[in-house]
């Protein structure tokens, strides 16, 4: 009996440690989401500015908190080292296009709507994984994608003038919806490039190369008409950059403490934060289309995450059950 109690104690300690790690991961993920929403709030509060100008501030000033973090962990010396610079540049080009369109949409749409439309990204990752990587996607995930895209359609329906006959096709909100959806599609492709990079590259290397590439690329938009900034606008954009870098660090730490399938669903807390912040900061009232469509898209996204976890467990069981070769 005593022996069982002795064995029981370390098992309990191990379970408590694992539970503590999971809770830490979830807390860090929620914090990263909150900081990302803060970044989007700063960008929206800065007003309608050229997308390239916003991309520069967001990318360049994100580098500083990341460098401080890497220096603290004594990993700065090798952070930029890579044997695949062209792959990083390609990921940067695609990511900058997605970021620019996303910021264009953010400055022209209510905050809850801009955040919720971005939820189309994980749905499109499933589609593009099948088309470009040849991944086998079964009926469950295809069904979730179809349902999720219906939710996206519900959110964007009024702005696309299918219900509101008075809106003109050139309306800024219509352009914002189109930009948000195209941004989600391009961003899904960027995720596929990141999937390829993570096989050989460290997270810090990917993040720093992207921030540097995005900053340089954004400078090429300078001749196309950057605006003179007021001190308030400059402060908001610098704050947005720092928030972006900090959020990236928190997100990376979250996935280090807990499995992706546990942490990823908490990304959708941004919808609640977007509704609250949008109302109090900008007077944006979430429409019934945004709420209903958002719930549908979130449900579809969580189902896809759950399904990915189940498939991962199945592959692990199959690998363990397979007889050793040789």
On whether residue 24 sits in a domain, the answer given is no
**Distance (Å, whole) CA 63 – CA 245:** 6
Range of the domain at 102: 31-321
Predicted model pTM? 0.81
Closest CA to 116 of 278, 280, 281, 291: 291
Lowest mean pLDDT among 310-314, 316-320, 321-325: 321-325
CA pseudo-torsion sign 288, 289, 292, 294: negative
- Each residue's pLDDT tens digit, 38-72: 999 999 999 999 999 999 999 999 999 989 988 88
Six-digit token string for 316: 């692990």
Burial class (CB in 10 A: 0-12, 13-18, 19+), 83: exposed
In this model, does residue 160 exceed pLDDT 70? Answer: no
On whether residue 176 sits in a domain, the answer given is yes
pLDDT level of residue 8 (50, 70, 90 thresholds) = low
**Distance (Å, whole) CA 108 – CA 114:** 9
Instruction: Specify the DSSP class assigned to residue 325.
Output: P
In this model, does residue 214 exceed pLDDT 90? Answer: yes
Question: Mean pLDDT of all residues in the chain?
Answer: 84
pLDDT of residue 259: 72
**Distance (Å, whole) CA 110 – CA 270:** 14
pLDDT level of residue 163 (50, 70, 90 thresholds) = very low
Under 8 Å between Cβ of 202 and 88: no
In this model, does residue 161 exceed pLDDT 70? Answer: no
- Each residue's pLDDT tens digit, 68-122: 988 888 888 888 888 889 999 999 999 999 999 999 999 988 899 989 888 888 8
- Each residue's pLDDT tens digit, 265-314: 888 888 889 999 999 999 988 889 899 999 998 898 888 888 777 766 67
Number of separate domains in the chain: 1
pLDDT level of residue 321 (50, 70, 90 thresholds) = low
pLDDT level of residue 162 (50, 70, 90 thresholds) = very low
pLDDT of residue 190: 86
On whether residue 256 sits in a domain, the answer given is yes
On whether residue 178 sits in a domain, the answer given is yes
In this model, does residue 132 exceed pLDDT 70? Answer: yes
In this model, does residue 257 exceed pLDDT 90? Answer: no
Under 8 Å between Cβ of 18 and 254: no
Give the mean pLDDT of 27-36: 92
On whether residue 9 sits in a domain, the answer given is no
pLDDT level of residue 156 (50, 70, 90 thresholds) = confident
On whether residue 159 sits in a domain, the answer given is yes
On whether residue 221 sits in a domain, the answer given is yes
H helices of 107-230, where? 111-117, 120-133, 139-156, 172-197, 203-219
**Distance (Å, whole) CA 175 – CA 154:** 17
pLDDT of residue 10: 56
């Amino acid at each position: 009996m005593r022996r069982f109690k002795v064995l029981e104690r370390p098992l309990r300690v191990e379970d408590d440690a694992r539970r503590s790690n999971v809770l830490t991961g979830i807390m860090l993920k929620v914090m990263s989401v909150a900081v990302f929403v803060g970044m989007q709030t700063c960008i929206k509060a800065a007003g309608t500015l050229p997308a390239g100008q916003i991309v520069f501030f967001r990318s360049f000033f994100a580098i500083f908190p990341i460098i401080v973090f890497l220096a603290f962990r004594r990993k700065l010396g090798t952070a930029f080292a890579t044997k695949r610079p062209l792959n990083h540049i390609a990921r940067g080009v695609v990511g900058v296009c997605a970021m620019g369109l996303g910021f264009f949409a953010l400055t022209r749409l209510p905050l809850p709507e801009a955040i919720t439309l971005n939820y189309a990204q994980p749905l499109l990752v499933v589609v593009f994984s099948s088309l470009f990587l040849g991944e086998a996607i079964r009926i469950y995930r295809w069904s979730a994608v179809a349902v999720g895209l219906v939710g996206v359609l519900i959110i964007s329906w009024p702005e696309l003038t299918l219900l509101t006959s008075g809106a003109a096709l050139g309306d800024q909100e219509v352009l914002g919806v189109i930009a948000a959806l195209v941004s989600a599609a391009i961003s899904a492709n960027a995720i596929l490039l990141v999937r390829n990079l993570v096989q050989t590259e460290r997270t810090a290397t990917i993040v720093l190369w992207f921030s540097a590439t995005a900053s340089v690329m954004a400078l090429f938009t300078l001749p196309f008409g950057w605006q003179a900034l007021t001190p308030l606008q400059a402060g908001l954009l610098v704050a947005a950059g720092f928030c972006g870098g900090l959020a990236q660090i928190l997100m990376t730490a979250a996935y280090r403490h807990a499995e992706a399938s546990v942490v990823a669903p908490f990304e959708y807390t941004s919808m609640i934060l977007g509704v609250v912040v949008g109302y109090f900061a900008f007077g944006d009232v979430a429409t019934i289309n945004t709420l209903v469509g958002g719930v549908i898209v979130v449900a579809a996204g969580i189902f896809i995450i759950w399904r990915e976890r189940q498939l991962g467990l199945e592959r692990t069981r199959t690998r363990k059950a397979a007889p050793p070769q040789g």
